[in-house]
Structure 1
């Protein structure tokens, strides 16, 4: 029988008090069925209206025929599994290769004194060739596999932006030189003894333009819709796309950045790879001038993206960040 010191942090059999979220955040109705209402969009059909409707009604959609090779997706998920399964000698849980990436064990990731039920890896991806040498070099294939994945996700993001811009009636070059896959965030949500007490991710909105999520075959993502949490189901080889704060601002509210969270499961772990497509740091973000007029005045002030991020770091989850740039009515 293994002693406690030989167990990983999530294998102790009970949820430690420091991982129990306050009652206002505790998930309920964990047995509700997984939803088929989150739109599933076939990108091969150039579905402009479907993307705009999904982005307004849900802020989320899943995409099929997206062009990212299945092998590239699987290889990326497999190398992340290798990474999170590696034994770490640094018990602090923070294992920097350089200041440009960090691996954070759950015991070191807290909000209001409560730890999330997850391990997390994040690092920048742009400019890609300069970032690659700064990424983890263990597992040995990490840099090669993830670089190939990021390149494919960038191609997909450009395809999605092209459709959104065309649907909104904006110049096809609106995002030229202002959007890249800036940040990768991978997560491991281990099995949890009591999922009703924990969260893998607090409710939040993303500060990005869009986020593209590879959730493989694992459930746990929930989206807030009309005050109710909706379980997002799993579709083989699909990718989940959600609208971030910046695209809601640029669209002057026509597209919506909505709250989402991750719940834990008792008998199954979850691994995901989120890639955040952001504006360049010095890019000026504001409602697109072609989308505002006397009857539809701008809802948000103009600001530099770098300043938005710095100003809202205090929120952490960027849930209320849009309020800081909203125009008073």
Structure 2
């Protein structure tokens, strides 16, 4: 089955037909967009010597307007970040037979490697990516299913997942404070699950026709992303695609649907996509922080009143995930299912 992996056969002269997206969704000339606009960059170090409220307001403004921002001076060791990226690149460069032990499209297998999506055999067009994903909670138990090669994988990724979750929780504290909630509102069940999602995009023979990932928003609470040093991440804002510049020592934060719902629509769970390039491979590492499957999610009671009624009904997170999966990429349909009728 590993022969399906794009990384096993990507060095072809022309793009196979089943990787060519319909004209209305393919990136076309927008595969490389103008870099004049980009998402906000926020210096987290400022909290130690500048008015905390200023930092909080910067984060809230970015979360409302873009749903995306980058953070620098975030406190995570860049040696660790770089080491994790190197381990991931080593993994995807392993011979196919050495990756076969984790290759699976079975959703019941917690650690799995596959290409495009788990619906590969049913989808009309494939994504130009290979994807490794596995849970990181409960950590010690989950590690037993992680890749055994490279030999440093489990040691490095363990530390990485711990440190990035700390950063994600710290940013959520600042967000909760900024929208008028207890800073610890999103702790415990609302942020219990941690999932590592690694996308590998080999060089593509025609980036104007293919997509690494189509337009979508994340189903979780918040995402902490290391996008490496290669362009490819784009955010949809005001009818156009904005390229997220790969900055040295920066991590990308984006707001997921659950935080949009908890904030009663105030924060933006922005749609984004990944485009490819013909020159070099791109690897990105995302840490998704999500509620537990049985956690009830709803607009925070402290944010709704008679003049600001709740926009969304309460639901169990696993219900949201099921609906999200069956309507992937359809933001309006996903949210409409959980909206209260006016």
The bucket for the TM-score relative to the shorter chain is over 0.9
Instruction: Tell me, in whole angstroms, the C-alpha distance in 2 between the residues paired with 1:74 and 1:180.
Output: 26
| Residue aligning to 1:38 | 39
Summarize the alignment of residues 1-329 of structure 1 with structure 2, pairs less than 5 Å apart.
8-27=8-27, 28-46=29-47, 47-89=55-97, 95-96=103-104, 99-106=109-116, 110=120, 112-178=123-189, 179-317=191-329, 319=331, 320-329=333-342
Instruction: Tell me, in whole angstroms, the C-alpha distance in 1 between the residues paired with 2:173 and 2:245.
Output: 26
The alpha-carbon deviation at position 230 of structure 1 amounts to 0.8
Q: Which moved more, 1:85-94 or 1:133-142?
A: 85-94
Instruction: Tell me, in whole angstroms, the C-alpha distance in 1 between the residues paired with 2:148 and 2:291.
Output: 28
Q: Residue deviations 1:92-123, cap 9 Å, x none?
A: 89725992211113497647411111111001
**How many residue pairs end up in the alignment?**
323
The alpha-carbon deviation at position 316 of structure 1 amounts to 3.2
TM-score using structure 1 length: 0.93
Q: Which moved more, 1:313-322 or 1:78-87?
A: 313-322
2:219·2:324 contact (CA, 8 Å) conserved in 1? no
1:63·1:241 contact (CA, 8 Å) conserved in 2? yes
Q: Unaligned 5+ residue runs, structure 2?
A: 1-6, 48-54
The alpha-carbon deviation at position 160 of structure 1 amounts to 0.2
Q: CA RMSD in A?
A: 2.1
Instruction: Tell me, in whole angstroms, the C-alpha distance in 1 between the residues paired with 2:117 and 2:183.
Output: 45
Instruction: Tell me, in whole angstroms, the C-alpha distance in 2 between the residues paired with 1:193 and 1:229.
Output: 22
The alpha-carbon deviation at position 138 of structure 1 amounts to 1.1
The alpha-carbon deviation at position 311 of structure 1 amounts to 3.0
| Higher share of residues assigned helix | 2
Matched residue of 1:313: which SS? helix
Instruction: Tell me, in whole angstroms, the C-alpha distance in 1 between the residues paired with 2:137 and 2:99.
Output: 30
Instruction: Tell me, in whole angstroms, the C-alpha distance in 2 between the residues paired with 1:37 and 1:153.
Output: 23
2:59·2:175 contact (CA, 8 Å) conserved in 1? yes
Matched residue of 1:252: which SS? coil
Rate the CA distance shift 1:302–1:80 in 2: closer, same or farther, 3 A: same
Q: Which moved more, 1:157-166 or 1:174-183?
A: 174-183
2:67·2:254 contact (CA, 8 Å) conserved in 1? yes
Rate the CA distance shift 1:176–1:227 in 2: closer, same or farther, 3 A: same
Instruction: Tell me, in whole angstroms, the C-alpha distance in 2 between the residues paired with 1:36 and 1:299.
Output: 31
1:207·1:318 contact (CA, 8 Å) conserved in 2? no
TM-score using structure 2 length: 0.89
Rate the CA distance shift 1:67–1:92 in 2: closer, same or farther, 3 A: closer
The alpha-carbon deviation at position 298 of structure 1 amounts to 0.5
Rate the CA distance shift 1:94–1:152 in 2: closer, same or farther, 3 A: closer
Q: Unaligned 5+ residue runs, structure 1?
A: 1-6
Instruction: Tell me, in whole angstroms, the C-alpha distance in 2 between the residues paired with 1:73 and 1:207.
Output: 24
2:8·2:96 contact (CA, 8 Å) conserved in 1? no
Matched residue of 1:277: which SS? strand
Instruction: Tell me, in whole angstroms, the C-alpha distance in 1 between the residues paired with 2:170 and 2:12.
Output: 45
Instruction: Tell me, in whole angstroms, the C-alpha distance in 2 between the residues paired with 1:282 and 1:205.
Output: 21
The alpha-carbon deviation at position 65 of structure 1 amounts to 0.8
